[in-house]
Amino acid sequence: MNKRIFLLTATVLLTQPLYAGTIAEVESNSTLFTAQNIDGSFSTGVNDDIYNASALDWEWSSIASLDGDGTYDYYSFTALANQNYIFDIDYGMPNLDAEIGLWSIDGTVSGLLAEQDDGCVENGVSFCSMVDNGSVHSYDPKFSWQSSSAGLYVIGVARFSTSANDSGFNGNAPVAGDDYTLQVSRDLAVDVPAPAGVMLFALSLVGFAATRKVKK
C-alpha cells in the first residue's frame, strides 16, 4: 500500500508542476459540511497554471488531489462581498472528466449557486484564450463568479456524469486513478460599498482634525 502511494505521488509530481502555496486534498471532505477549509492556503506570485496569478491584486490557492476514492471532494473558503473568483480544474484529463459545483453555507443550510461540466466557454465568454497552461483539455471545467455577500462558500469536485442540488452532488465521484489540481483564484481589490466608503472618509477627516488640534 505504501509503495503504491509513493509511486502515485511520484507520478503526479512528474506530471503536474507544484508551486509554493500548493496543498494536498485531505479526507474526509466528502460532504458540504465536512469540507476541507482552504482559507489559510492562499498565496501570491507566479503560477503558470492560473490566469491572473501574477496580477498584483490577485491571490490563489492550488489543491492537488493525488487519487480518487469514490467520494466527492469539497473545499470551503470565506469570501468578501463583491469579490471576484475563478475556479479551474487542471490536469484532470485524460483520467478524470471533472465537474465542479459551488454552494453557499449558512449555518446548517446550503444552497447551490453554480455548476460547471466542461470549461472554456461561459455565458458566451471564451476562457480558452486566457493564459492557463494547466487546462489540458476542454473537458477541464472552469468558471468565474462574484460573491454577492460575505460568508462561507464551498467548491466541490465530482466526476462526469453527475448533477448537483442544494445538498451537494448526486452522481459519480472521482475513483482510483483520478487525479486533478483545483485552482481557486480571487481578487484582493474589493470595492467598498458607497455608505461604508463615505463613513471611512468621514472618519479620516475626524482623525486629521484631531491630529492638527494636538499639534497646536
- Read off the pLDDT of residues 173-199 as tens digits, 9 standing for 90 and up: 999 999 999 999 999 876 555 444 444
Per-residue exposure over 59-82, b if at least 16 CB sit within 10 Å of its own CB, e if not: bbbbbbbbbbeebbbbbbbebeee
Task: Report the C-alpha gap between 24 and 1 in whole angstroms.
Answer: 19
Neighbour count for residue 201 (Cβ, 10 Å): 9
Per-residue pLDDT at 196: 44
Per-residue pLDDT at 37: 97
Residue pair 152/166 in contact by the 8 Å Cβ criterion: no
Q: Which three cell numbers stand for residue 119?
A: 470549461
Residue type present at position 10: A
- Average pLDDT of the chain is 78
Which candidate, 100, 90, 96, places its Cα nearest to that of 19?
Answer: 90
Q: Which three cell numbers stand for residue 173?
A: 465521484
Per-residue pLDDT at 126: 58
Task: Report the C-alpha gap between 178 and 132 in whole angstroms.
Answer: 21
pLDDT digits (tens, 9 = 90+) for 103-124: 999 988 999 999 988 766 555 5
Per-residue pLDDT at 65: 94
pLDDT digits (tens, 9 = 90+) for 50-97: 877 777 789 999 999 998 999 999 999 999 999 999 999 998 888 899
Per-residue pLDDT at 128: 56
Question: Where along the chain do its domains lie?
Answer: 2-215
More confident residue, 147 or 129: 147
Residue pair 140/132 in contact by the 8 Å Cβ criterion: no
Task: Report the C-alpha gap between 42 and 57 in whole angstroms.
Answer: 13
Which candidate, 125, 163, 157, places its Cα nearest to that of 36?
Answer: 157
CATH architecture of 2-215: Sandwich (2.60)
Q: Which three cell numbers stand for residue 87?
A: 475556479
pTM of the full predicted structure? 0.77
